[in-house]
Structure 1
Amino acid sequence: MEEEETRVEEAEERKEIWSWGAGTDGQLATGSLQDELTPRFIRSLSAYGPIVSLSCGGAHVIALTPGGRVLTWGRGTSGQLGHGETVSTSQANIVKQLEGFVITHISAGWNHSGFVSETGAIFTCGDGSFGQLGHADSSSQLYPRQVSYFASKPVEQVACGMRHTLVLLAGNVEKPVYGFGSGKRGQLGISTDKVKLTSLPQITMGLENIKITCIHANGDHSSALSADGSLYTWGRGFCGALDTYIPCLSDVDFPISKVALGWNHALLLSRQGYVFMLGGDRHGVLSDPPKTPSTADVRVTRAGKSEEIITRIIPGLANVKVVQIAAGAEHSAFITDNGSIMTWGWGEHGQLGLGDTNDQTAPQVVGLDRKSACGDAIPRVYCGSGFSFVLMTKI
């Protein structure tokens, strides 16, 4: 008991994890079911030791420890927490069904979850009504269940969206990406024709023999980033553009290092550290961005035709270097090279961490005292649909 108290005290001193925003399903892990308008230190995770990464979904969170153990909390009404029940909780719990595996990659969707082990096995749980669990049926799963389709195809990453899932295979394979679940907006990329849904993984077209390093899914959007910094998008169109049924190359004139997808927008981080945004026409997510010399015209090629989409650098950030980006449903966040946390967009639940529920059309600094809280630590920000987390990692 004394040793446990000591571990808790040490973790509290490090102050590693903070959360704010919508909390009525327990997704903030604060122990209470209420919204938080400013960052709040998460005391309840201290007993589990350090956390190396998070994934925030519709109203639940998945956490990964250095040893590959998985914790979940938040909304569990569809079994997305993987604890064998349909109960929401603000208390983080180990996913016991995965205790025999070292998990290396996690993804939280709207009401479902995905996990990848170091051996390349993939597990899913939660809502399966659109086939998004990949088990060849529409049933939900209360425990993580291995997706048998990939038993002989080692997986590297999983990305869970609103009602669909993407999978990236490990290694240099000819056909690296698969999709399953809802496809009504083209977000699976499996056919040039409209596909309502599929519960069996199918090959995502247009990415053959391309070295894909990252996949992303949120809302009805999908994207993939290649090793050379090229961006491919498919699914629901940005800025009123038509839906795209297969991945299309975005003709951006700068290499991209990171991508973050929201429901109506996407953030692009260039390798030089500048943030650009596609879309964003609701709830103050740059609802009326100014026209500046930094505006970029992105041309997306679709079946031999091209469509111009405007990508804009975020106002006021022309001289600010950014190292990490995140997007919720309709809010955005990033970390600058000096460790500042900045947010903007939809703020109804306090998910911007600014002490109010106002929307913001330009990035604002979140008042978290990084030095007094964590000493020399590197912050990482994560966004769920209406909430945010910051994870501090010791240098």
Structure 2
Amino acid sequence: MADRNRLFSIEDLPSHLILEIITSGKRLSAVDLVSLELTSRTFGGSHGVYPTKFRSLVDLAAFQLCTANGIYIGMSRSSQRELFERCDRNWKRVLRFLQTVEQSSDMVHTSAGNMQITTGRYHTLLISNSSVYSCGSSLCGVLGHGPETTQCVAFTRINFPYPGNVIQVSASQNHAAFILQSGEVFTCGDNSSFCCGHRDTSRPVFRPRLVEAMKGIPCKQVAAGLNFTVFLTRQGRVYTCGTNTHGQLGHGDTQDRPNPKMVELLGGVGSVVQIAAGPSYVLAVTDNGVVYSFGSGSNFCLGHGEQQNEFQPRAIHTFKRKSIHVLRVSAGDEHVVALDSSGYVYTWGKGYCGALGHGDEIDKTLPEHLISLKSQLAVQVCARKRKTFVLVDGGSVYGFGWMGFGSLGFPDRSVSDKVMRPRILDSLKGHRVSQISTGLYHTVVVTHQGRMLGFGDNERAQLGHDTLRGCLEPTEIFIPEMEEETSLLSESR
């Protein structure tokens, strides 16, 4: 009877059972595994039980979590080996890379909860623990607060028609789109081109409204372009609606679509895992690392070496020819930046102001490897008008291109200066950045601690400050409603 009631410690469990506990659910992060490894010899020692290539029980767990990761599964054996070498043959670092890349176009896990930041032209949207906040200019109702709101000088919570956790958001010039945990999509803003997916009205949609046409088709990502919207379903299919002047809807014509319609050609190329929308073009990345582009060929943004429009998705052959497995892309106003499975960065398009980072202002008609960042393991890329940011493993940020009202984050440079090659943002040292987003003239980052910092233009309160017209260096952004809730919670205790 005494033995039945005796308490056992985790060290008493068989190693295979501990391993099963660690890997079940696949929710532990690489940081969690490091913490376990430092906790006791049970996790940190190899005990001679496992193959010698694994340093510890945790190392084996990291390997198993990597091999179950969707990104890793889609990679070729040679790409997997190259990533392993790039990560110093450390499976925990490989896992951290995979998980960080997954979060780069989604929500990031911070000490303050799950967050996602996205910047529009003159506004900013934030998801914090499933609630959405917006600030800046509310042209055509893009902030989602009703017709009486023309501007929000501080982040203000957006109310939805019924309760639901928001998991992803996208901001464009005049409209916004939101995805709930259920997979339902809501939109608001300018609908004159039917980019919000509501064909019964061409008037502005001032509050988030369910896109009825996508009901029953759960989505995992949405990308808002200039007067058009791209939807990515959980099944890896792509739908588009809105204006189609340049063929950016991908249906083989230039006919506008008031209702979301599936891009048929992408249905036969594998599962699409990420989408990005430029002003009038679209990029789609498949699970086997191929990038497809369609829409306006202006500034060589489609990556085919020419400036002709593409009315249907076309694979970028530079990547296929060189067996480069692309994981993520970011569509800027005039250029594109891509991240591959080894953490390398590629840019192409208009080189004005050094936005491509190659030390000159020459246009690149095809994707070109950014050699100056070769020693860095990049985990997120971000492009907008004439500027580019690259987030690297460990939380440092590199920027290059046009300073534009200080939106590049170098307070020692003129607000109209050019940075021709990648340069680390010393102004963010001391902050481990988890995500970055940049608008026309403003930039916002989220740190691992869940803090928000912004820099650049604040003329329309797009940084969430009610007194500053601009910030030349990162300045912390606070959310009044969240601070009030925290204060009330503390008082109730």
The TM-score range, normalised by the shorter chain, is 0.7 to 0.9
3-state secondary structure, aligned to 1:151: helix
Matched, 1:137 2:253: yes
User: Taking structure 1 as reference, are residues 111 and 371 closer, same or farther at Cα in structure 2, changes over 3 Å only?
Assistant: closer
Give the alignment's Cα RMSD to 1 decimal: 2.2
The residue type paired with residue 152 of structure 1 is G
Equivalent residue number for residue 300 of structure 1: none
Of 166, 179, 195, the match for 2:283: 166
Contact 1:262 1:331 in 2 (8 A): no
Equivalent residue number for residue 172 of structure 2: 57
Contact 2:228 2:240 in 1 (8 A): yes
Contact 1:205 1:246 in 2 (8 A): no
User: Taking structure 1 as reference, are residues 15 and 259 closer, same or farther at Cα in structure 2, changes over 3 Å only?
Assistant: closer
The residue type paired with residue 167 of structure 2 is V
Equivalent residue number for residue 36 of structure 1: 152
The residue type paired with residue 96 of structure 1 is E
Contact 2:409 2:425 in 1 (8 A): no
Equivalent residue number for residue 272 of structure 2: 155
1:75-111, Cα deviation, whole Å (9 max, x unpaired) = 1111110111422111111111111212122111121
Please say which of residues 315-324 and 364-373 is displaced more in the overlay: 364-373
Of 196, 211, 214, the match for 2:308: 196
Matched, 1:334 2:334: no
The residue type paired with residue 235 of structure 1 is G
Matched, 1:18 2:18: no
Q: What is the rounded CA distance, in whole Å, between the counterparts of 1:167 and 1:286 in structure 2?
A: 27
Q: CA deviation at 1:310?
A: 1.8
Contact 1:290 1:315 in 2 (8 A): no
Q: Which of the pair has more CA radius of gyration? A: 2
3-state secondary structure, aligned to 2:135: strand
Query: What runs of 5+ residues in structure 2 fail to find an aligned partner?
Result: 1-128, 355-360, 414-418, 487-493
Equivalent residue number for residue 330 of structure 2: 216
Bigger relative CO (Cα 8 Å, ≥ 6 apart): 1
Query: What runs of 5+ residues in structure 1 fail to find an aligned partner?
Result: 1-13, 292-296, 298-308, 376-395
Equivalent residue number for residue 96 of structure 1: 212
Higher helix share: 2
Matched, 1:87 2:207: no
User: Taking structure 1 as reference, are residues 355 and 15 closer, same or farther at Cα in structure 2, changes over 3 Å only?
Assistant: farther
The residue type paired with residue 326 of structure 2 is I
Equivalent residue number for residue 113 of structure 1: 229
Equivalent residue number for residue 354 of structure 1: 465
3-state secondary structure, aligned to 1:104: strand
3-state secondary structure, aligned to 1:55: strand
Q: What is the rounded CA distance, in whole Å, between the counterparts of 1:321 and 1:22 in structure 2?
A: 29
Of 312, 317, 330, the match for 1:205: 317
Q: What is the rounded CA distance, in whole Å, between the counterparts of 1:197 and 1:235 in structure 2?
A: 14
User: Taking structure 1 as reference, are residues 78 and 371 closer, same or farther at Cα in structure 2, changes over 3 Å only?
Assistant: closer
Please say which of residues 361-370 and 49-58 is displaced more in the overlay: 361-370
Q: What is the rounded CA distance, in whole Å, between the counterparts of 1:356 and 1:367 in structure 2?
A: 13
Contact 2:188 2:209 in 1 (8 A): yes
Alignment of 1:372-383 (within 5 A): 372=483
Q: CA deviation at 1:315?
A: 4.0
Q: What is the rounded CA distance, in whole Å, between the counterparts of 2:167 and 2:409 in structure 1?
A: 34
Equivalent residue number for residue 385 of structure 2: 263
Q: What is the rounded CA distance, in whole Å, between the counterparts of 2:312 and 2:450 in structure 1?
A: 43
Contact 1:26 1:33 in 2 (8 A): yes
Q: What is the rounded CA distance, in whole Å, between the counterparts of 2:485 and 2:226 in structure 1?
A: 31
Q: CA deviation at 1:372?
A: 3.5
Contact 1:27 1:60 in 2 (8 A): yes
Q: CA deviation at 1:248?
A: 0.9
TM-score with structure 2 setting the length = 0.65
Higher strand share: 1
Q: What is the rounded CA distance, in whole Å, between the counterparts of 1:356 and 1:198 in structure 2?
A: 45
3-state secondary structure, aligned to 1:149: helix
The residue type paired with residue 80 of structure 1 is C
User: Taking structure 1 as reference, are residues 214 and 257 closer, same or farther at Cα in structure 2, changes over 3 Å only?
Assistant: same
